[in-house]
A = this chain, B = another copy of it.
């Protein structure tokens, strides 16, 4: 069976928390990027060291894709260059996050083990010639990974430059091959126990899919029409768990040789990624994420804040690490838009404010060739005499001033329930409307709370929520009975919840709860939804209080709740019910931002939660950090023009200035004010 492990903020807290300082080997605030000296002649390495020092770099990710260089032929290793690089780094006071290079098996490996290449759902066997061309279930691949990880650990486990093990890179290659299917069947036996349970969980009576033996069960490969949704969901779960097992194998090997060095892997966000980061997070010594906002304008900052809050939540509220970002580019709509002056600094500070133990980049030096030749870098093709490198070096110089914030924590009174399984289930085909997006619902809740001045945590549905005054539950389509009970108990105990449409409808096997929606939350909310009514393309509905619903409506019947806003038909659209000492609110339509903000304001006020700073100007981001009796405000002015923030007294660590009541921030500028 798959067990969930939750930490204090509801997500997995890294193992061993509290007993040893898992971060002892790391710089207080890590600064650097992926370093690929194997792409350059040794003459460049010396220039790299000098420029890294100039930029304040103290940590680099090393060897991420270096397998074919480290093991140019099967069993033949070439460590000389890496010896030299690590010695150079150590000599320059720069630490290394040394990678196991398993995300890119060498061409000789693929030629020898074609069964270790991934297979698409339609049966296409992919070839090498890119990166990530592996089947994580292939025995030959797993064995080769263990060998190269072991060789690295044995050789470098005690190297003075070593600060962190960086296992693999962005686990995420889907596979549908025979190895995968065999592993999937083993996982299913473990999860469901017997075929009868699986047939029941997957509703195989539908469309005559009843299985009479385990061998009949495939990965969800190309088929004639819609695949079984429970099978597809379990395949996503399996793929995440299978990758986790592969990660753990490498971690065990690395720990054997270097028990004191923390181990992690870099999480990458995206709906194509099969990894359930929340459930994995207990397996990494430090949560590390790659983050690349995917939109122009202010949205990039809001995506940044959300990613950072997710990472902190996965880390159980503690430290985590932004291990990849782009120094100078935001990719949006197929265009590599420049980050305007100051924007890289603001993005970095937003991550650090929200708990990142530094700001790392992909990559140190822009490569001459290869597929990512136009990816961003700290040191662009044009060299150090560039705006980009100057900003990199400038930020590197001021970062040490923030060291005193180390160990302090973000305090949030509002949480957003988040579970990627709900996302996986809601984004399947065959739903009542393709318009509903779990990601969009999460982002709206985060954005609206942020604009209202609240810093939020994310929390797993089964987490202890008692520390929060308000819990937002955006379209949590899939939820277990136990997790639903957890939310009800939270309200019973005095919590406030704001649940959005199409939540609680499905159980963990994506089976619809019968008797009326939202099945799992019907009693909590005191309503019974008898019909789902997606809106036609482009239509909106105006509620009787003037708010605007989009995409989706429902027929809501009151069963204990009161209606606080109604559809034009007079039927309830928004409801409220007191339950125990708490309050449960429901939105049966997708309100636009303005409407959702109004509901949020009502709910957060009733819940007694306060924004970080009252009366904050628009476009200014504020995060409060506290620890050891001290408090810091991270204040980021995302506006082009100057902004004035009142009620701030203390000292700005970045400028060194004393702030005596009003903080004046030029356009694009930031401050980290130690209050007092």
A residues adjacent to B (C-beta < 8 A): 36, 38-39, 65-69, 72-73, 101, 104-108, 110-111, 118, 120, 122-133, 173, 202-213, 215-218, 220-231, 296, 328, 332-338, 366-374, 380-383, 385-388, 429-435, 509-517, 528-537, 555
**Which are the 4 A-B pairs with shortest beta-carbon distances?**
A206-B370, A203-B369, A104-B208, A226-B371
Per a CB cutoff under 8 Å, which of B108, B333, B533, B536 touches A212? B108
A373 → B minimal CB distance (Å): 5
Residues of B within 8 A of A105 (CB): 208
Do the beta carbons of A509 and B369 come within 8 Å of each other? yes
- Contact status A229-B370, CB under 8 Å: yes
Give the nearest-CB partner of A516 in chain B.
B382
Q: Which residues of B contact A68 (CB under 8 A)?
A: 204, 208-212
Which residues of the other chain, B, contact A215 by a CB distance below 8 angstroms? 111
Chain B residues positioned under 8 Å from A432 (CB to CB): 335-336, 374
B227 in contact with A130 (CB, 8 Å): yes
Q: CA separation between A548 and B434, bound complex, in Å?
A: 37
28 A-B pairs with CB atoms under 8 Å apart are A39-B205, A66-B208, A72-B210, A73-B212, A101-B208, A104-B208, A104-B209, A123-B124, A130-B226, A130-B228, A131-B207, A131-B225, A207-B371, A207-B372, A209-B370, A230-B369, A337-B536, A366-B512, A366-B514, A369-B510, A372-B430, A373-B430, A374-B512, A380-B530, A381-B514, A383-B516, A386-B531, A387-B555
Partner of A534, one of B337, B386, B512, B534: B337
Of A207, A210, A338, which is in contact with the most chain B CB atoms at under 10 Å from its CB?
A207
B531 A380 Cβ-Cβ under 8 A: yes
A213 contacts which chain B residues (CB < 8 A)? 108
Which residues does chain B contribute within 8 Å of A334, judged by CB atoms?
A: 433-435
Min distance, Cβ A517 to any Cβ of chain B, angstroms = 7
Is the beta-carbon distance between B369 and A104 smaller than 8 angstroms?
no
CA distance in complex: A369, B510 (Å) = 7
A595 to B226, alpha carbons, bound, how many Å? 42
- Residues of B close to A386: CB separation below 8 A: 530-531
In the complex, the answer to whether B383 meets A206 with C-beta atoms within 8 Å is: no
Taking CB as reference atom, which chain B residue is nearest A374? B432
Query: Chain B residues with Cβ under 8 A from A220's Cβ?
Result: 129
Query: Distance in Å from the Cβ of A435 to the closest Cβ of chain B?
Result: 7
Q: How far is the CB of A63 from chain B (nearest CB, A)?
A: 9
Q: How far is the CA of A385 from the CA of B125 in the complex (A)?
A: 52
* Contact (Cβ within 8 A) B132 A225: yes
* Chain B min CB distance to A255 (Å): 24
Bound Cα distance from A435 to B127, whole angstroms: 29
B residues less than 8 Å from A125 (CB atoms): 123
User: Are B223 and A369 in contact (CB-based, < 8 A)?
Assistant: no
- Given A434-B334, A531-B338; A224-B382 close (CB under 8 Å): no
Question: A228 and B371: CB pair below 8 A?
Answer: yes
Instruction: Identify A223's interface contact among B66, B133, B207, B531, CB under 8 A.
Output: B133
What is the chain B residue whose CB lies nearest that of A385?
B530
- C-alpha spacing A180/B487, complex, angstroms: 56
Residues of B within 8 A of A374 (CB): 430-432, 512
Contacts of A217 in B (CB 8 A): 107
Determine the distance from Cα of A126 to Cα of B224 in the docked complex, in whole angstroms. 7
Are A129 and B369 also in contact (CB < 8 A) when A212-B106, A213-B108, A381-B512 are?
no
A494 to B129, CA, bound (A): 46
Instruction: Name the distance in Å between A380's Cβ and chain B's nearest Cβ.
Output: 7
Given A218-B129, A368-B203, A536-B296, decide whether A229 and B530 contact each other with a Cβ distance below 8 A.
no
A67-B208, A132-B224, A173-B224 as given contacts; A511 in contact with B216, CB under 8 Å: no
Contact B107 A210 (CB under 8 A): yes
Counting chain B CB atoms within 10 Å of each CB, which of A39, A107, A385 scores highest? A107
**A119 shortest CB reach to chain B, Å:** 11
> A369 to chain B: which residues have CB within 8 Å?
202-203, 206, 229-230, 509-512
User: Please, which residues of chain B bring their CB within 8 A of the CB of A69?
Assistant: 205, 208, 210
Closest chain-B Cβ to A480's Cβ sits at a distance in Å of 15
Instruction: Identify which of B118, B224, B513 contacts A130 (C-beta below 8 A).
Output: B224
- How far apart are A549's CB and chain B's nearest CB, in angstroms? 15
Do the beta carbons of B221 and A127 come within 8 Å of each other? Answer: yes
B130 touching A388, Cβ below 8 Å:
no
Interface centre among A371, A386, A534 (most CB of B within 10 A): A371
Q: Which residue of B lies closest to A510 (CB)?
A: B369
Q: How many angstroms from the CA of A511 to the CA of B373 in the assembled complex?
A: 8
| Chain B neighbourhood of A207, CB < 8 A | 65, 104, 130-131, 370-372
Q: Which residue of B lies closest to A551 (CB)?
A: B335
How far, in whole Å, are A168 and B377 apart by their CA atoms in the complex? 48
Chain B residues near A104: list those with CB within 8 A.
Answer: 207-209
A382 touches B205 (CB 8 A): no
Tell me whether B216 and A514 are in contact (CB under 8 A).
no
Contact A106 B430 (CB under 8 A): no
Bound-state CA distance A528–B120 (Å) is: 45
- The answer to whether B208 touches A382 (Cβ under 8 A) is no
B130, A223: Cβ atoms closer than 8 Å: yes
Residue contact A127 to B72, C-beta cutoff 8 Å:
no
Contact in complex: B335, A536 (CB < 8 Å): yes
B383 and A127: CB pair below 8 A? no
Given the complex, which residues of B lie within 8 Å of A537, measured CB to CB? 332-333, 335
Give the Cβ gap from A529 to chain B, nearest Cβ, in Å.
Answer: 7
A229 and B207 CA atoms in complex are apart in Å by 35
Distance between Cα atoms of A131 and B130 in the complex (Å): 32
Residues from chain B with Cβ under 8 Å of A120 in the complex: 222
Q: How far is the CA of A337 from the CA of B333 in the complex (A)?
A: 31
Contacts of A531 in B (CB 8 A): 328, 338, 380, 382, 386-388
